[in-house]
Structure 1
């Protein structure tokens, strides 16, 4: 984080989890996260405001390199898209039996 403390981040079905020395110290649930982004080595979590009190709306973490940060951001986007999906879209396919090769599944 910005204070130089060594932390581990994990992405899960409920959100992003923060660990310090194998101890869970915080969880950012998908419902509370407004936006996730990365810029170079910085991973940013923007949160929804909670009431009218003082809050920190952006949490910042630093990674060893840009590629590590981007890969973690990708995993977060994939998990968020999968676990927050409420509607399954069915795709209707045109069945053409004339030149059909392979499985129709």
Structure 2
């Protein structure tokens, strides 16, 4: 099978080249981030913003030490309700590496 070019809209983060994640897949990614000891956070930005100059606004503060997947999902949903016309992404910060451990758009 030949490799095909991916034709779609703008790309944001690594998972944007894959089909939209199901709720269960989102839940498993959040569970993985929490299991790594990373601190979850939620961000949002206007749709159509060029990827190279996009500024993501933080939704509240990072959820330092949060262990509940349901709490994180509730914050993602609350952000989406507040900004229904914007993209919402999940981010997990790795304190040890002082970087993002994972980031992906939940609502495009």
- Same fold, TM-score > 0.5, yes or no: no
Q: Which has the higher contact order (CA 8 A, sep 6+)?
A: 2
Tell me the TM-score normalised to structure 1 length: 0.31
Q: Which has the higher helix share?
A: 2
Tell me the TM-score normalised to structure 2 length: 0.30
Q: Which has the larger radius of gyration?
A: 1
